[in-house]
């Protein structure tokens, strides 16, 4: 996966997280389910951010 693909997926995670946070703030009754989803998307975001950093670092070493 290239950096632009990682960036698209990172943005998708951020959008999903923002939507879930909005639902929680608005008083959505499924707090437990939304918290689980928030945890899942947050974990996915951390994974993608790390992989993106690694891909950028690897590309820089190849160019260097």
The pTM is what? 0.88
CA distance 61 to 37: 36
Look up residue 48 and give its DSSP letter. Answer: H
Check: CB of residue 19 under 8 Å from CB of residue 57. Answer: no
User: What is the pLDDT tens value at each position of the chain, 64 positions in all?
Assistant: 888 899 999 999 999 999 999 999 999 999 999 999 999 999 999 999 999 999 888 888 888 7
Q: Which of 60, 62, 52, 55 is nearest to 11 (CA)?
A: 52
- For residue 62, what are the contacts with CB-CB under 8 A and spacing of at least 6? none
Tokens 């008083």 — which residue?
Answer: 27
Look up residue 2 and give its DSSP letter. Answer: -
């Amino acid at each position: 996966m290239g950096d632009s693909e990682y960036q698209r997926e990172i943005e998708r995670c951020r959008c999903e997280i923002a939507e879930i946070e909005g639902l929680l703030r608005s008083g959505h009754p499924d707090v437990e389910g939304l918290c689980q989803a928030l945890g899942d998307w947050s974990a996915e975001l951390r994974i993608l951010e790390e992989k993106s950093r690694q891909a950028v670092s690897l590309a820089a070493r190849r160019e260097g």
